[in-house]
Amino acid sequence: MLFFISETEASTRQRPFNNKIPAGFVFGDSTVDPGNNNYVETLFRSNFPPYGKDFKDQTATGRFTNGRLSTDMIISYVGIKEYVPPYLDPNLTINELISGVSFASAGSGYDPLTPEITSVVSIPQQVEYFKEYKKRVQAAIGKKKMENIINKSLFLVSCGTNDFVVNYFTLPIRRKNFSVLAYQQFILQNVKQLLQELWDEGARTIAVTGLPPMGCLPAVITLNSENAVLDRGCIQKFNQVAIEYNQVLQNELNSMRRRLAHLGAKIDYIDIFTPLANMIQGHGKHEFYEVSQGCCGSGYLEAGFLCNPGSFVCLDASKYVFFDSIHPTEKTYTKLFLANRHVLDSLIQEE
């Protein structure tokens, strides 16, 4: 947690000591996709204004926010590089590849059905891209050096919201066969499968993000309130599902860490629910002008192509928790990063 320096400084400066984290690898959805969907045949893209309006050179990179993602801040803080590039960018240099990439795809999820809804890159395919990545790097620097990089790197996983918001609670398919509890367990089984596959591929330091307070996402409020204009309060049913899921996820990660500790495993949970809920409902809400609708358009439903160059955009995104109706602003991502910096310090500290 931050005490003595500004948020901006803390989120951009690199580690002061000489750690040995050579690269960072990212898997998941739009919360960590820096632009892979630019190279996928899907409508779920954000490589156009007003996205990126506060990014370097006001570039719309494909990040679903006005600036940087938390993963950019993490990789910079660890001391690797300034931004995490998308793996599917065909112009990446070998040096960019070697120091890490994001395989994440906006709209994806742990449930195999979720990425099919938006025609994006599934988690299993992200793992396949990682295997392809390893072959490319091995061809450039040799197998031993490649494996050494993978073993010492930081792996970040952020996913799951789309499984519930876009899939389970929106479409009837999964609800016919799964109760909420059963679906949570189904998702968790897929999380464990992903972590096992990453472990088998050489990952040893892994951080997994839990679910946010889903009932506080502006789009969820809009679609589930009797009067979405007058009543912008969080939908507690969705938040309760996230709380329950996050607790079981933490237990699973703790169990996995204990089981594999003797083999050098460092596995931890990143809590985004608590700090985000505080920004929206707690004391932190006083730092923002608007906590229940996005900066883009009406802020009620706009996201992706609905948030476009023709949309109204707020003047100062830092006064908003959300940039569009689903995705946080850079300021929010900064606060989420800072709230979990102690977890990162524990994962990357020297033995």
Q: What is the mean pLDDT of residues 5-15?
A: 46
**Mean pLDDT value across residues 67-89:** 96
Averaged pLDDT of the chain: 93
Range of the domain at 256: 8-214+236-273+329-348
Question: What local confidence, expressed as pLDDT, does residue 203 receive?
Answer: 97
C-alpha–C-alpha distance, residues 75 and 100, integer Å: 9
Residues 6+ apart with CB under 8 A from 45: 37, 38, 62, 106, 304, 305
Q: Domain for residue 251, yes or no?
A: yes
28 within some domain: yes
Q: What is the mean pLDDT of residues 114-139?
A: 97
For the cut 60, the answer to whether the pLDDT of residue 5 exceeds it is no
The count of structural domains within the chain is 1
Measured in whole angstroms, the distance separating CA 96 from the mean position of its chain's CA atoms is 20
* Mean pLDDT within 309-336: 97
What's the rounded mean pLDDT across residues 112-140?
97
According to DSSP, the residues that pair with 269 across neighbouring strands are 208
pLDDT at 284: 87
Q: Given pLDDT bands bounded at 50, 70 and 90, which one contains residue 349? A: confident
For residue 289, tell me if it sits in a domain: no
Which pLDDT tens digit goes with each residue over 236-250?
Answer: 999 999 999 999 999
> Which tens digit of pLDDT belongs to each residue from 159-168?
999 999 999 9
Residue 86: what pLDDT? 98
Within-domain flag for 323: no
Report residue 19's pLDDT band, with 50, 70 and 90 as the boundaries: low
Q: Is the pLDDT of residue 24 over 60?
A: yes
Instruction: Determine the average pLDDT of the residues in 217-232.
Output: 90
Any domain includes 111: yes
Instruction: CATH number of the domain at 190, please.
Output: 3.40.50
pLDDT of residue 7: 47
Residue 4: pLDDT band (50, 70, 90) is very low
Do the domain assignments include residue 1?
no
136 within some domain: yes
Quote the tokens at residue 318: 């830092």
3-7, 33-37, 63-67, 214-218: segment of lowest average pLDDT: 3-7
- 6: pLDDT strictly greater than 80: no
Domain membership of residue 304 (yes or no) is no
Note whether 301 and 325 are within 8 A (CB).
yes
Task: Judge whether residue 295 has pLDDT over 80.
Answer: yes
pLDDT band at 35 (very low <50, low <70, confident <90, very high): very high
For residues 121 and 38, the answer to whether their CB atoms sit within 8 Å is: no
17 pLDDT exceeds 60? Answer: no
Phi, psi (rounded to 5 degrees) for 143 = -65, -45
The pLDDT assigned to 227 comes to 85
Q: Please give the sequence-ordered ranges of beta strands (E in DSSP) within 135-286, or none if there are none.
A: 154-158, 205-209, 266-270
- The pLDDT, as a whole number, for residue 23 is 97
Segment 275-283 mean pLDDT: 95
Q: How confident is the model at residue 20 (pLDDT cuts 50, 70, 90)?
A: confident
Residues 6 or more apart in contact with residue 120 via CB below 8 angstroms: 37, 40, 42, 44, 105, 106, 107, 108
Please give the positions annotated as active site. Answer: 30, 324, 327
